[in-house]
Amino acid sequence: MSRIILVRHGQASWGKKDYDKLSDLGHEQSRAVGRELAERGVEAARVVCGSMQRQHDTAVELVGEAGWSTEVETDGAWDEYAHSAILTAYKPAYRSMALMKADLARTLRPYRAFDEMYAVATERWVAGGHEDDYDEPFSAFGERVLAGLKSLSENVGRGETAVVVSSAGAISWVAASLLGGGAPVWTSLQRVIANGSLTTLSIGATGPILRTFNDTSHLERVPDLLTTR
């Protein structure tokens, strides 16, 4: 049976000026994924990633560690949604990073305050009541990701495995959709999916079927390798 293995990219540079870049730990997580796939005997006929740097670098790292000769393909359908655009649509003043950091610092619990604010901003995006405020509304994001899944599913050969490196939001939307869930399920899933985790789909006669979600067993063997952001 054909299958698709969805890999969440390694840890990005949270809090840095260039977020779209793997941290040192992110590189280590990416190599751990490659070793794990090799140990499981996976031979990838195709390796696909989104167009984001953190996705591409994760793909390159895991391919090298797995010892595959497969070339990495890029498909923007697997890109993550625009986090900063969602935040600034909710609070336009936060186009100024300095202002946002100053406001958060005044709460005396900046990380928690940011998480709470971002949750509200995401709910606004997901609700769909302000679609004109976003270059990519939530509905369009979901359609894009599922179009990428459909295209790949239809082009994986019989008995072949495709590996896709994507992000929490995109992978969680695939899982939520295959479970018959909607935005509430997606919201819950994307909160828990780990960097470098594995989500596996089999391709049956009726299309993709979710087999596993957020497998982190390979990360849990190494202290401090498991992260969600």
Give CA–CA dist 24/183, Å, rounded.
Answer: 33
> What number is the average pLDDT over the span 128-157?
95
Q: What angle do CA 3, 6, 10 make, to 5 degrees?
A: 150
SS3 217: helix
CATH number, span 2-80+159-220:
3.40.50.1240
| pLDDT 10s digits, 39-77 | 999 999 999 999 999 999 999 999 999 999 999 999 999
- How confident is the model over 67-116, as pLDDT tens digits? 999 999 999 999 999 988 999 999 999 888 889 889 889 989 988 998 89
Q: Is the confidence at residue 217, as pLDDT, over 90?
A: yes
Tens digit of each residue's pLDDT (9 = 90 or more) over 10-22: 999 766 566 789 9
d(CA 115, CA 111): 6
What pLDDT score was predicted for residue 114? 87
Burial readout 158-193 (b: 16 or more C-beta within 10 A, e: otherwise): eebbbbbbbbbbbbbbbbbbbeebebebbbebbeeb
- For residue 200, is pLDDT > 90? yes
Residue 12 and residue 22 in contact, taking contact as beta carbons nearer than 8 Å: yes
Mean pLDDT rounded to a whole number for the chain: 93
Q: Where are the domains of the chain?
A: 2-80+159-220, 83-133
| pLDDT value of residue 36 | 97
